[in-house]
Amino acid sequence: MRIPLSALLGLVLTGGFLFIAVFAQFIAPYPIDSTVGGVWDSPSATHWLGTDTIGRDILSRLIYGAQITIFVALASSILSFSLGSFLGFLAAVRGGLVDQVLSRIVDLVMAVPSLIVALVMLSVLPLNLTVLILVIGVLDSTRVFRLSRAVAVDISVMDYIEAARLRGEKQSWIIFREILPNALSPLVAEFGLRFIFAVLFISTLSFLGLGIQPPLTDWGGMVGENKGGLVYGKSAALVPAAAIALLAISVNLVADWILSRTSSLKGGRGG
């Protein structure tokens, strides 16, 4: 299998971000919240990317921010796909009242912009990583539900699904052994896109002050902390913004490659 150059570049960059996130404690030259220089110092041999609004090393906070940003986005994406795909498959298999109830609940949640719902919920709930992951994961599961239901509806009319029903297989078997393996490719491709959405969503919430809370940091929070430096020509806010953009591009390159390989749904034999 020949991997296109763009996909290979995306894989290398994404792998690099994951490596930094996993080994942040060993890579970062300074602790996450230590003041090690002056305010908005220019890049130097001791501070490669300079310092921020209170003299903390930007490179160190960028590395720790990668760990928090990627961890929260990945955890919330896994939650949204686990919940959304299961309910989407269940709605497609059961049909009738179950399908109608689940679909109308999802329509109701999606009728209100996710950011507004998240801001309201986070303004009354404790601000910690667990709550943030749950809020983002549940809100994003509505999009996964729509996709997984649509894919499962197409699969559920295939011959091998009907054969499984005639054999008397339970609905759990049909969902996990018949539908899921054949729906995995489009869901994996969508996972990359939803992961980037989660990164941007977390960054937006942190920029508004309702995301990752000190002493932890993420890239959106770093942009919010240092946006005042732009007035004075300081680039401290642009570095984490560039990191968000680069991560989004790299993951999208991989997701586009997967989508190109799974542009049409392929039928297969049931488990």
- Does some domain include residue 54? no
CATH number at residue 197: 1.10.3720.10
Which pLDDT tens digit goes with each residue over 135-167?
A: 999 999 999 999 999 988 888 778 877 787 778
Average pLDDT score over residue span 63-78? 95
Alpha-carbon torsion angle 142, 68, 190, 87, nearest 10:
-30
**Which has more confidence, 267 or 17?**
17
Domains identified in the chain, total number: 1
Confidence of residue 260 (pLDDT cuts 50, 70, 90): confident
Taking residues 207-222, what's their average pLDDT?
90
* Domain, as residue range, for 211: 5-22+61-261
